[in-house]
């Protein structure tokens, strides 16, 4: 049951209801979906808060900017087969991704969608964007690390888009279509990251 912020039952006749179409029009479908899932943390009731919509918009912006960073900074660096960690930052982000992905899988399998989103959000925002993207800026300028760093950036971003796709299907598919424009594959039919 979706309740008002103060815990009352939503009702059109009482004027406490929300119009999801208005929210989608105002904030976008992914931000609205994010807000619903974000607030579904155990129990059967959700106390609706529009602050979660703003959080969703900020997270979508973060995904978009991180993707743009990866595309721009790795352009011209040849693809290498396999991903090899060469620095402590490489090892840290790969280990954090593996842990976040396993946790997301476990929570999705047990229908704990809010927990899955919270935990993967923390990985993407803090481990990938705040820590690894900053380290990658330096590593990409070093010829010894540039190719492996670019490969890790691409792998973690692409696999993160796959994990986030059930929660944020529109933005992840839009970013994926930019990446895979040549072969025209859709993210929705990609296999789950291994």
Other CB atoms within a 10 A radius of the CB of residue 138 amount to 12
Confidence (pLDDT) at 76: 85
Contact 104, 119 (CB under 8 A): yes
Confidence (pLDDT) at 106: 97
Question: 152-162 pLDDT, tens per residue?
Answer: 999 999 999 99
CA distance 190 to 182: 15
Measured N-to-C along each axis, helices 113-122 and 88-109 cross at an angle, to the nearest 10 degrees, of: 170
CA distances from 24 to 28, 67, 104, 114 (A): 4, 23, 26, 19
As a whole number, mean pLDDT of residues 92-116 equals: 96
Of residues 76 and 174, more confidence is placed in: 174
What DSSP string runs through 161-184?
HHHHTTT-HHHHHHHHHHHTTTTT
Asked if the model's pLDDT at residue 182 lies above 70, the reply is no
CA distance 102 to 89: 20
Residues in the chain: 194
DSSP element (H, E) containing 90: helix 88-109
Between 13-27, 49-63, 137-151, the lowest mean confidence (pLDDT) is in 13-27
Q: Going by C-beta distance under 8 Å and a sequence separation of 6 or more, which residues neighbour residue 92?
A: 127, 131, 132
Which pLDDT band, with edges at 50, 70 and 90, does 181 fall under? low
Question: 109-141 pLDDT, tens per residue?
Answer: 999 999 999 999 999 999 999 999 999 999 999
* pLDDT-above-70 percentage for the chain: 96
Pick from 23-27, 74-78, 101-105 the range whose average pLDDT is largest. Answer: 101-105
Question: 10-38 pLDDT, tens per residue?
Answer: 677 777 777 789 889 999 999 999 998 99
Model pTM above 0.75: yes
Confidence (pLDDT) at 119: 97
Of residues 6 and 70, more confidence is placed in: 70
CA distance 151 to 25: 37
Q: How high does pLDDT run on average in the chain?
A: 90
As a whole number, mean pLDDT of residues 44-59 equals: 86
Asked if the model's pLDDT at residue 82 lies above 90, the reply is no
User: Residue 3's beta-bridge partner residues?
Assistant: 9, 47
């Amino acid at each position: 049951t979706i309740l008002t912020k103060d815990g009352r039952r939503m009702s059109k006749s009482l004027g406490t209801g929300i119009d999801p179409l208005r929210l989608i029009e105002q904030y976008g479908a992914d931000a609205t979906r994010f807000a619903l899932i974000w607030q579904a943390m155990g129990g059967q009731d959700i106390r609706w808060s529009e602050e979660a919509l703003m959080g969703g918009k900020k997270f979508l912006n973060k995904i978009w900017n991180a993707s743009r960073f990866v595309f721009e900074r790795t352009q011209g660096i040849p693809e290498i087969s396999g991903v090899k960690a060469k620095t402590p930052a490489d090892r840290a982000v790969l280990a954090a991704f593996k842990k976040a992905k396993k946790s997301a899988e476990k929570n999705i399998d047990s229908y704990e969608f809010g927990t899955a989103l919270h935990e993967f959000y923390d990985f993407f925002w803090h481990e990938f964007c705040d820590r690894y993207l900053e380290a990658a800026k330096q590593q990409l300028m070093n010829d010894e690390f540039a190719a492996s760093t670019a490969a890790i950036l691409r792998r973690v971003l692409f696999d993160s888009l796959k994990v986030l796709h059930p929660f944020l299907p529109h933005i992840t598919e839009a970013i994926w279509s930019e990446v895979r424009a040549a072969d025209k594959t859709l993210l929705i039919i990609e296999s789950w990251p291994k």
